[in-house]
Amino acid sequence: MTDEKLYELVCSVSKEVFRKDFRHEAYFNKRLRTTGGRYMLRTHHIEVNPLVLEKHGMEELIGVIKHELCHYHLHIEGKGYKHRDADFRELLKRTNSPRFCSTLVERNRRVSRNRYTYQCAKCSLAYNRKIRLNTRKYRCGKCLGDLVLVTSKKLK
């Protein structure tokens, strides 16, 4: 889909759903990574992530457009256009627009968060840490005993 087709789609969605004209620009922005789209306050333009169409299809794209048009029309009218504003939330419900878009980027999840496990020599209390400690400098918070490195995990 080209930027011109996207602009025509935004105009038609604005007319059908909001019964108002869209008088600014709408285009794809490949640099958007985690968000489906964004409304630019200063220029009133709407940018859309092309991955929305590629990964989730036309229905999701129309949902993103409706969401950004909620920001657009409320901002133009001088009403609350931010996510936390009551005007915005009410318009989302009225137009059946999504609050969030589907995930676009798969995030790498670590298997284990803790790399190092220390144990107190006196009371055997365990401490899990991401960063290595200097065992000569730090002591057990419970009994002030010496800490001993028990395990050291290497993460990818």
- 68 part of the active site: yes
**Sign of the alpha-carbon torsion through 16, 17, 19, 20:** negative
- CB hemisphere CA count around 139 (13 angstroms): 6
Cβ(120)–Cβ(146) below 8 Å:
yes
12/75 Cα distance (integer angstroms): 19
Among residues 68, 77, 90, 106, the one annotated as catalytic is: 68
48/102 Cα distance (integer angstroms): 13
Q: Which residues are catalytic?
A: 68
